[in-house]
């Protein structure tokens, strides 16, 4: 009888701990979602207010495709590498022709 009660108490304790762990995990997930949304909103606002930074980030991401493809980290189609190179070149020309889009050193 005592053993059954002890087993039952252990099971209740485990279920309470599981509920508490689930609650903590849900709260953490919720906070992480809110923080990630706030970060993305802030990032988009910052990039929208600073076109030279946005232009430079897009250029650098386009330039990154070729080395990643050659090292085998991210295999892509040669057409994708070509389009990214073309886009990077066009954005570089755009930055040269419009001084307002140059990053200030």
pLDDT tens digits, 30-57: 788 888 888 888 888 988 899 999 999 9
Give pLDDT, residue 25. Answer: 78
Give percent above pLDDT 70 in the chain. Answer: 83
Measure CA of the first residue to CA of the last residue in the chain; give whole Å: 79
How far is Cα 47 from Cα 57, in angstroms, rounded to an integer? 9
Residue located via tokens 């009888």: 1
Q: Structure tokens of 47? A: 């990039």
Cβ atoms of 102 and 52 within 8 Å: the answer is yes
pLDDT at 94 over 70: yes
Angle, alpha carbons 50-84-71 (nearest 5°): 115
Under DSSP, is residue 80 helix (H, G, I), strand (E, B) or coil?
Answer: helix
Res. 14 pLDDT band, cuts 50 70 90: low
Cβ atoms of 51 and 98 within 8 Å: the answer is no
Q: Chain-wide mean pLDDT for the chain?
A: 84
Q: For 23, phi and psi rounded to 5 degrees?
A: -65, -45
pLDDT at 83 over 90: yes
Under DSSP, is residue 74 helix (H, G, I), strand (E, B) or coil?
Answer: coil
């Amino acid at each position: 009888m005592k053993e059954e009660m002890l087993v039952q108490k252990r099971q209740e304790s485990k279920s309470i701990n599981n509920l508490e762990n689930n609650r903590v995990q849900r709260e953490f997930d919720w906070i992480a979602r809110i923080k990630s949304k706030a970060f993305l909103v802030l990032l988009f606002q910052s990039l929208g207010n600073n076109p030279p930074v946005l232009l430079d980030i897009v250029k650098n991401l386009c330039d990154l495709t070729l080395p990643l493809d050659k090292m085998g980290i991210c295999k892509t189609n040669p057409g994708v590498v070509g389009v990214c190179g073309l886009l990077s070149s066009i954005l570089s020309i755009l930055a040269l022709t419009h001084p307002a889009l140059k990053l200030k050193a």
